[in-house]
């Protein structure tokens, strides 16, 4: 079967020796298949002379020209690629060099074979929605970005709790003192939100999870909202905060700032190996059904 991907770009984990080796190996493999791959310019620069045999390409060009982007690294590398190309749903394939790899599901050892199967049309496509987040100060927008995993309000370098007001679709929900709040997509429900005892949301669930961080109220529990909701977090004095987006971009917030989060119309398209199963992935990564150790 002829593959549909002719313009393929490779994106690697920044300054990773293992990543550089895998990027070059997959670039050579694609060349063997008659495809002229291009390497994201930051990745090519980090690899150095060994990447000079391949053309370098900026993220903006990948977003506008690529049929497929192969991301070599961990989930953080894929999240960054998704945010950088959010304006266009370039299909992404993740090769896992990280620890867990909820999104990068091709093992390094079998990356050549499984990438070949994907190029031959044997894959499972899946769309994941993103969050559109903006920070308003005195009626003006001071920060705007996208997030595939989560938006996190936290106390930054403070050694004490912060306080904020939560509104959903314009309705007051509560005022909370805590270490912060995680607003997570189903994709992000297995990231920081999971560590904070939030719910795991299947990717097919059109919901957004609100997960308080160490709330100063036993009744403040995680809540899952419809993906049509408009979430607003209003920062209250006296403390400033830091707002993180996918653990990469951030904005320093001040008392009175208003963080507004809605579902973005943009989506990320992931390509999984044939036979991919979300629950099998969770079993492996979270060690479900693992045998109990004997002492």
The domain boundary, picked from 96, 121, 146, lies at: 121
The answer to whether residue 75 is catalytic is yes
Residue range of the domain that includes 162: 130-265
The angle at the Cα of 255, spanning 249 to 256, to the nearest 5 degrees, equals: 100
From first to last of its 295 residues, what are the pLDDT tens digits of the chain? 445 899 999 999 877 777 899 999 999 999 999 999 999 999 999 898 888 889 999 999 999 999 999 999 999 999 999 988 866 789 999 999 877 789 998 999 999 999 999 999 999 999 999 999 999 999 999 999 999 999 999 988 777 899 999 999 999 999 999 999 999 999 999 999 999 999 999 999 999 999 999 999 888 999 999 999 999 999 999 888 999 999 989 999 999 999 999 999 999 999 999 999 999 999 999 999 877 677 6
SS3 232: strand
Region at 73 (left for phi over 0; alpha for psi -120 to 50; beta for the rest): left
| Number of domains into which the chain is organized | 2
- Are 112 and 217 in a shared domain? no
On whether residue 3 sits in a domain, the answer given is: no
Task: State the burial class of residue 95 (Cβ atoms within 10 Å of its Cβ: 0-12, 13-18, 19+).
Answer: buried
Beta bridge partners of 136: 141, 258
- Are 82 and 142 in a shared domain? no
- Are 117 and 229 in a shared domain? no
On whether residue 293 sits in a domain, the answer given is: no
Task: State the burial class of residue 140 (Cβ atoms within 10 Å of its Cβ: 0-12, 13-18, 19+).
Answer: exposed
The separation between CA 235 and the C-alpha centre of its own chain, rounded to angstroms, equals 25
- Are 116 and 139 in a shared domain? no
Q: Are the C-beta atoms of residues 253 and 141 closer than 8 Å to each other?
A: no
Exactly one of 18, 67, 75, 240 is catalytic; name it. Answer: 75
Instruction: Compute the residue count for the chain.
Output: 295
SS3 110: helix
CATH assignment at residue 31 = 3.40.50.10330
- Are 233 and 116 in a shared domain? no
- Are 161 and 241 in a shared domain? yes
- Are 137 and 260 in a shared domain? yes
On whether residue 271 sits in a domain, the answer given is: no
- Are 171 and 204 in a shared domain? yes
On whether residue 258 sits in a domain, the answer given is: yes
Q: Output the pTM of the full model.
A: 0.92
CATH assignment at residue 188 = 2.60.200.30
């Amino acid at each position: 079967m002829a593959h549909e991907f002719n313009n393929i770009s490779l994106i690697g984990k920044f300054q990773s020796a293992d990543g550089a080796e895998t990027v070059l190996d997959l670039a050579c493999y694609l060349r063997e298949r008659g495809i002229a791959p291009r390497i994201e310019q930051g990745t090519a620069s980090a690899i150095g002379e060994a990447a000079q045999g391949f053309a370098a390409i900026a993220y903006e060009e990948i977003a506008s020209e690529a049929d497929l982007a192969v991301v070599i690294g961990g989930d953080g590398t894929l999240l960054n690629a998704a945010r950088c190309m959010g304006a266009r749903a370039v299909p992404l394939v993740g090769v896992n060099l990280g620890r867990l790899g909820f999104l990068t599901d091709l093992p390094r050892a079998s990356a050549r074979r499984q990438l070949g199967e994907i190029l031959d049309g044997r894959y499972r496509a899946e769309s994941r929605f993103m969050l559109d987040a903006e920070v308003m100060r005195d009626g003006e927008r001071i920060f705007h970005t996208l997030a595939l995993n989560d938006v996190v309000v936290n106390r930054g370098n403070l050694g004490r709790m912060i306080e904020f007001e939560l509104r959903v679709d314009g309705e007051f929900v509560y005022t909370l003192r805590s270490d912060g709040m995680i607003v997570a997509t189903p994709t992000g429900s297995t990231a920081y939100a999971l560590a904070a005892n939030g719910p795991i949301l299947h990717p097919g669930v059109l919901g957004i999870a609100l997960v308080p961080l160490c709330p100063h109220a036993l009744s403040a529990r995680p809540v899952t909202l419809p993906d049509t909701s408009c979430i607003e977090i209003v920062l209250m004095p006296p403390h400033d905060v830091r707002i993180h987006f996918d653990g990469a971009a951030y904005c320093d917030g001040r008392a009175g700032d208003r963080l507004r989060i809605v579902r973005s119309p943009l989506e990320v398209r992931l390509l999984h190996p044939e036979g991919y199963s979300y629950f099998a992935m969770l079993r492996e990564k979270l060690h479900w059904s693992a045998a109990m150790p004997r002492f």
